[in-house]
A and B are shown apart, each in its own frame.
Chain A
Amino acid sequence: MSQVEKKTGLLRRTSSSKKPLKEKVVLMYDEIFAKEDPAKNNPRFWDELFLMKVNLEYLETKLETVDGEEVQKIQDNINSLFHHCVQALGEEHQIKVVNALQTLCALFRGVHQKNKSASGFDIINMLMGFDKAEQRMKDLMERLDSLLCGEGSESLKSLCLKLLLCLVTVTDNISQNTILEYVMINSIFEAILQILSDVSSRGQHGYDAVVLLALLVNYRKYESVNPYIVKLSIVDDEPTLDGMGMVVHHALTEYNRQYKDKEEENQGGFFSTLTSMVGSMFIADADEKLSVQTNEAILLALYEAVHLNRNFITVLAQSHPEMDIPTTPTTLTPTTPTTPLGTTPPSLDMMNNPELPLDPNLQTSNLLITFLKYASIVMQDTKDEHRLNSARLCLIILTCIAEDQYADAFLHDDNMNFRVNLHRMPMRHRKKAVDKNIPSRPLVCAVLDLMVEFIVTHMMKDFPMDLYLRCVQIIHKLLCYQKKCRIRLHYTWRELWSALINLLKFLLSNETTLLSKHNIFHLALLVVNLFNMFITYGDTFLPTSNSYDELYYEIVRMHQVFDNLYCMVLRVSTNTGQWKEPASKVTHALVNVRAIVNHFNPKIESYASVNHISQLSEEQVLEVVRSNYDTLTLKLQDGLDQFERYSEQPKEAAFFKELVRSISLNVRKNVSLNTLSQGVLLKEFSTIS
């Protein structure tokens, strides 16, 4: 093609004529989609092709519009294009590499778009040809691998990751993406790890790398052996794991910061509170404004790391100074999609700094603290599907953490004290503590606080039974650890007790509505057994002897709830029906609580009558409790300190499948290959070549 023509084409284009004249590259695409071998007339066709700026839209639409029969005819050309793309990746000329990467991306997308219904094999056949597929993909993965690990341009690496993300997310259900089988065979796991272990590359590509890893791990997770799972589970290189932790930490911090900013925006100054008050009369409520989109992809990555790799647990406690500083956008990522879920990383320049910054205002933080804060925000509102999923995932992660002994060890470490400012939902009946003067405590206190907070704030019609179960189980696991290791945590257990009693109360009062959807007896049983833990094993983990008295005080004070619960479960268990069995379990579990209530109530009443006091003070009740222990006999219950270990399969498999699907959709939507505009690349590479 002549230079003149190209020039005019360019000129016209810039003059924004309505009907775009065909660029040279488009003409070349057309040649490919013709039946003839494009290189037949022009032996330098492929060389030239990759020197042209890619027209993604055109190529993709072209691929989409090809119908079934044509496919057969042009398959050779497409195979050839694919082949030459892969070849071009090895070129020294970086422009060619960039164009080849983008072309490949368009190919993957276009082919999948077109063949939504087609089987993976057809797609592979169309792209590469069956006979050569293996070799082509091997070459591709090797090239990508060496690009990612080489000393080359950062933009190129970024583009490689985008291509991979694109490839991984072309199908809604990742497990149906047959091409990934080749990615399993030709692992790029090592390249991902290398990106994470290096400080500077982690800063720029860490986010994409982590998301990619999380997705790859979920490929046919339950059906086959996924080498990424295997490899991820045995990584023990600290810098790498740390790097992964840093990426997650940073993403979560970024989210927390955005949320905080929004929150402050809403509460800024007297006037704005006034207006928002007025405003909130008309607009739904504050929730809308405060919603920052959750980042499930990164949460999934955290989950996989915690769940699969036990070494990662140490990273949770790895402290970093809190990265609260508003980050300035880096110059290298000029146009980022604004959606936080996008795969473009929140500017990670803070992580590039290997030296800890010297800002005295920075609170030292660690991944776990940041995660807890994040969870506290996410759990505030579970109405939205995304947030519900996020909250569920958060609780699953916490379950894994609570089960891990090393994690428990540092959660309970008396020397590792932190102030964790959990976000609390503003509620009618309680004031939002403006000046949160939280004492510095072991981290487990923050976890318990979070659980108590959740229990207190989610007693609603649309009862999140699943989350409650997880929540109570987490508490139970922590108590088991404390009992086993005889750790006397200085925690205000009273708050937990009253929260649990309130939960029982709620279950009772909404029995009918809840029973239609949930097995409330299971939850009730877990709650009652928590009390049984305290009652029978309190001597091993309660901090003071007074706290044991207080436990009795609380039970006696709220005896009405337990009485009602007993009546209810007794009623249900005597009837025949589906709840007979679970309800009878609860009746048995209530034995000790009822013994306490029945033992102390008469004593207190007689004390009151003897002393002619109508309303006993707390101190007086405690006195009665203290003096009447010896005549009370309790029944030792089995298995109180046993729990069911978390296992992803089969219970959670469906959840994760769905989660991965939604993440895939989201990532696909946001993978922006155009991020790197040609101009930037030209600028960067003109100096090289």
Chain B
Amino acid sequence: MEDSEPEPPPSASSSHSLSLPSTPSSSSSSGDPPSAVPPPLGVIREALGELVINAEVAQRACREVLQQVKLNQGEEPQQMKLSKGEEPQQMKLNQGEEPQQMMLNQGEELQQLKLNQGEEPQQKKLNQGEEPQQMMLNQGEELQQLKLNQGEEPQQKKLNQGEEPQKKLNQGAEPQQMKLNQGEEPQQMKLNQGEEPQQMKLNQGEEPQWMTLNQGEEPQQMKLNQGEEPQHMNLNQGEEPQQMKRNQGEGPRHGEELQQMKLNQGEEPQQMKLTQGDEPQAPPAPPTVQVGDPEGPAPGSVKSLRRRQRHNPSKQSWLLRLFESKLFDVSMAISYLHSSKEPGVQAYIGNRLFSFSNDQVDFYLPQLLNMYIHMDEDVGDAIKPYVVHRCRQSIWFSLQCAWLLGAYSSDMHISTQRHSRGTKLRKLILSDELKPAGARGRRDPLTLMPFFPLAPPGHGAPEHSLSPSKRTHQRSKSDATVSISLSSNLKRTASNPRVESQDEPVRLAPQREFIKSLMGIGKRLATLPTKEQKTQRLISELSLLNHKLPARVWLPTAAFDHHVVRVPHTQAVVLNSKDKAPYLIYVEVLECESFETSSVPVRIPENRIRSTRSVENLPDCGMTAEQRAGSFSTVPNYDNDDEAWSVDDIGELQVELPEIHTSSCDNISQFSVDSITSLESKEPVFIAAGDIRRRLSEQLAVAPTTFKRDPEDPSAVALKEPWEEKVRRIREGSPYGHLPTWRLLSVIVKCGDDLRQELLAYQVLQQLKCIWQQERVPLWIQPYKILVLSSDSGMIEPVMNAVSLHQVKKQSQLSLLDYFLQEHGAPTTEKYLSAQRNFVQSCAGYSLICYLLQVKDRHNGNILLDADGHIIHIDFGFILSSSPKNLGFETSAFKLTNEFVDVMGGPDGDMFNYYRMLMLQGLIAARKHMDRVLQIVEIMQQGTQLPCFHGSSTLRGLKERFHMSLTEEQLQLLVDQLVDGSMRSITTKLYDGFQYLTNGIM
């Protein structure tokens, strides 16, 4: 059933195609949404008549559809038929329900208003100390009951009869909900606070309109609803027994069916959703605190549960209304997906994922996939359609999924792993069967490609333009040769670019090959003993890699679409690492519309400036064999050496000695080597030796503070060079540099390292960054992007313009404060002050991060300092429950050395107080959104062997560090304690000493 959605039959009914783009949540074909435009009443009435008449037919059809859809999951042709059968019915249903929804929305709105106004204080009290999780427990049952009850109760009638009943319902539900909401309270409170005013306005502004609308429509709706009812009843009655049976028989499927049941029953909830999705102007149903919790509601006592049962209809709508509400974001979706035990809810959220923007969901991709791998079937089934859908859309997403699936499956036992869902999905993706659905409809050069591959080889130029995708990473020969080939003979030497066989999975292959080569290089580097050898080997390997570029490959860490055209191999550096060989490469790319469809840039030879001796210079070249054959007489010499080098790159250096060409050259512009003789006639120019010497020392002094080249630490120099300068320099030396879309990217390739923890840390950091931004706390952190390729390899986005504190100290031999003074000027200058402020803000941010995540192994090699004075922590190899096994160093909450404090102006300075204040603000803000952070960690805990999850108390510990129970005053004290403790910590110093002794890190 879920499968059917993301893969809509191309020739599906009109209702299908109409609704598709805007209906994220419809989960079954029968639940198709109404079209966005409310149909005229006449039509509705007409339809209604038909509906009544056809009620039985419809019912039958419905049943059939349900059955078949289920059976035929994924089989489109059949579905196509089915959907045709469905069509009339759906149309009617949709038409009939529209007005009703409008009413519902209005009811909601009123309710929201009230709730928003009145609820907060109450909630505050209630929420403290109660466990949200408990509340979730019963939620599953409740939902089930809701549904079961739906059939018996003429709920819709009630609902639709106007505002009063609903109001009552709402009132009844309110106390309950307040309790229920406790779990989510912090978050929601905030949400409410933030959005309330706006909503109020919105609601107020729109209300009159709605009122009138509703008033006008009411009678009709009554009728409509009444008319509809029988059908629903029928449907429900007809369906239920069957489903019940099925449920009993088929445990695992039960989720889907329940959902279907729900969907078929009265359709109301679904439709509501859909309408909202379709009609953006629908009143935002936000502070849906109340609504929000139909999920949470599941709580408490049996008593309340029973009481709730009575109000189930509204309950149901509330749950859905949360899901529909604007507030319902990816974060919540993921959280519910994880915590809900109710297959229906999971399936619903699975569908709902379609409605979020890709970027939003992508952030939670690790969570989604981890759930897919390690949680039960229902969750998996709920997620899969979305994943499959996205895989079809994008190569990038496909690969990302495949990599993550591989990485997160790796902790499973081998035997289970092989048959696990994750592995299967991974295989499916990598088999590249998930070609864009456009294979049938969309015109995509990629999909067209298989029809062309036998294009006559050798037609160099047309080949490029026709099917750019053919130039995969495997491109074996330079295409340039083909086009340049003088005669048909020469072409052979270029041995025509190998044409890929038709069944080769060409879509993903280039990128995979690219990544594979990068990893291969890393592996080979690791075998070399010295940095120097590693660097040389790296450069040579990359230069070979260059031969295969440009290709349809891209750097996964980049934010824009592009094709990689060249790796400036000489710029690559090996990074500092004891036994692994991570390395940093710079990559030249050309930005493009879409890396999947834009054509791959044509290769430009490395030394493009040098045009070779051109054919024109050797006029005889075009002479035919016949012409030449006749005479053996020698031809006058055309091989004039000087002319042949037509484009003279260092032409101005050239001089032609008069002895050689006296006759032919007029020497006006020519210097000659022995011009000294001619000086006699000229006025001699005199210069002061002192000037030369002065210029020399001046020019040397002007040069920016660079680091000295150190063969043992080649990355220091490379990283110290300001990014802009590096870009300019590389651009100058690149044959592609003149292209306007040229960009430079860089990436760290890690081979042999597990980056899953880094990815987790990135997510947490990113989340906290968002939270702080949202709360307008000026803490500064810089999460760097992580790409997990497998459980032991990946890529990292390097931090620009930053070198490690170790490198700073080693190269400059200065204290941190002195280095600041050297780099940013005197303490009173603008530049210094802003650098200092940056330092403090980033220090505060990372102190909190270190504390919350228990980041360890904080030696100076793992702390970077950027050109603006920010510090940036890297290497999150030891977080949460794991720490390096070393004699209990690093007991302090975070690293705060005296040097840091000095830069902040000493322990009594204003800036240091600012630092403390920032810490407090940051902690309060983070606490407010604790769930968003916890959720990321919690989901990733599932099924993992990562060291950061060792022990059972990881999550609890993390939660405790948010100190939910403390008042702000208490928090203030806590922060002071942490800061003072860290500052005094002897172990920090010891650890630095330890690192210096063992690893030479200063």
Contacts and interface: CB of A to CB of B under 8 A. Distances in A.
Contacts of B695: 539
B532 A234 contact: no
Given A222-B639, A415-B570, A539-B699, A403 B689 contact: no
B909 interface: no
Contact of B641 (A413, A484, A648): A648
Contacts of A198: 495
A197 interface: yes
A234 B489 CA distance: 14
B452 interface: no
Interface in A620-640: 626, 629-639
Nearest to B693: A629
B688 A632 contact: yes
B540 A645 contact: no
Interface in B532-555: 532-533, 535-537, 539-541, 543-544, 547
B676 A238 contact: no
B613 interface: yes
Interface stretch (A1-9, A358-366, A671-679): A358-366
A364 B533 contact: yes
Interface string B673-706: 1111111100011111110111111011000000
Given A185-B625, A239-B476, A633-B688, A643 B537 contact: no
Given A239-B477, A313-B607, A319-B543, A589 B676 contact: yes
Contacts of B572: 415
B528 interface: yes
Interface in B621-659: 621, 625, 628-629, 632, 634-635, 637-642, 644-645, 649-650, 653-657
Contacts of A231: 486, 490
B696 A542 contact: yes
Given A227-B621, A231-B490, A237-B478, A634 B687 contact: yes
Interface string A389-415: 000000000000001111001100111
Contacts of B476: 239
Nearest to B486: A231
B673 A644 contact: yes
B481 interface: yes
Contact of A645 (B486, B654, B700): B654
Contacts of A291: none
B672 interface: yes
B505 interface: no
Contacts of A585: 674, 676-677
A206 to B, nearest CB: 14
A337 to B, nearest CB: 30
B484 interface: yes
A363 B535 CA distance: 11
Interface string A177-198: 0100100111101110110011
B606 interface: yes
B710 to A, nearest CB: 11
A405 B688 contact: no
A415 B573 CA distance: 9
B489 to A, nearest CB: 5
A310 B657 contact: no
B700 A544 contact: yes
Nearest to A418: B536
B618 interface: yes
B655 A642 contact: yes
A223 interface: yes
B335 interface: no
Contacts of A321: 537, 540
A20 to B, nearest CB: 41
A128 to B, nearest CB: 13
B650 A403 contact: yes
B676 A629 contact: no
B698 to A, nearest CB: 9
- Please classify how large the interface on chain A is, using the bins under 10, 10 to 19, 20 to 34, 35 or more: 35 or more
A356 interface: yes
Interface string B60-103: 00000000000000000000000000000000000000000000
B635 A223 contact: yes
A584 B677 contact: yes
A230 interface: yes
B168 interface: no
Nearest to B647: A310
Given A638-B675, A643-B655, A318 B543 contact: yes
A630 B571 CA distance: 41
Nearest to B630: A134
B578 to A, nearest CB: 16
B306 interface: no
Contact of B481 (A236, A310, A548, A631): A236
Contacts of A220: 634
B610 interface: yes
B484 A415 contact: no
B494 interface: yes
Nearest to B671: A639
A417 B535 contact: yes
A425 B533 CA distance: 27
B684 to A, nearest CB: 5
A689 interface: no
A181 to B, nearest CB: 6
B541 A356 contact: yes
B641 A410 contact: no
Greatest chain B CB density within 10 A among A149, A198, A235, A536 is at: A235
Contact of A635 (B490, B493, B686): B686
Contacts of B656: 644-645
Contacts of B673: 529, 639, 642-644
Contact of A536 (B527, B690, B692, B718): B692
Nearest to A596: B689
A296 B679 CA distance: 44
Contacts of A236: 478, 480-481, 484, 605, 612
Contact of A638 (B539, B671, B709, B733): B671
Contacts of A639: 655, 671-676
Contacts of A360: 527-529, 533
B657 A644 contact: yes
Interface string B460-503: 00000000000000001110110010100110111100000000
A635 B682 CA distance: 12
A84 interface: no
A225 interface: yes
Contact of B495 (A120, A197, A414): A197
Given A236-B612, A415-B571, A643 B676 contact: no
B511 to A, nearest CB: 21
B248 interface: no
A545 B687 CA distance: 18
Interface of A: 120-121, 134, 149, 178, 181, 184-187, 189-191, 193-194, 197-198, 220-227, 229-231, 233-240, 242, 308-311, 313-314, 317-321, 356, 358, 360, 363-364, 366, 403-406, 409-410, 413-419, 439-440, 477, 480-481, 484, 488, 525, 529, 535-536, 538-539, 542, 544-545, 548-549, 584-585, 588-589, 596, 626, 629-639, 641-645, 647-649
Interface of B: 476-478, 480-481, 484, 486, 489-490, 492-495, 524, 527-529, 532-533, 535-537, 539-541, 543-544, 547, 570-573, 605-607, 609-610, 612-615, 618-621, 625, 628-629, 632, 634-635, 637-642, 644-645, 649-650, 653-657, 671-680, 684-690, 692-697, 699-700, 709, 711, 718, 733
22 contacts: A190-B493, A223-B634, A223-B637, A224-B635, A225-B635, A231-B486, A237-B494, A239-B478, A313-B607, A358-B524, A363-B533, A364-B536, A364-B537, A406-B606, A409-B733, A477-B653, A480-B650, A544-B700, A548-B692, A634-B687, A635-B686, A642-B672
Given A225-B621, A634-B686, A644-B656, 5 more contacts: A197-B494, A311-B606, A360-B529, A539-B693, A633-B686
Top 6 A-B residue pairs of the complex, sorted by shortest distance between their CB atoms:
A319-B540, A237-B481, A225-B620, A630-B690, A638-B675, A364-B536
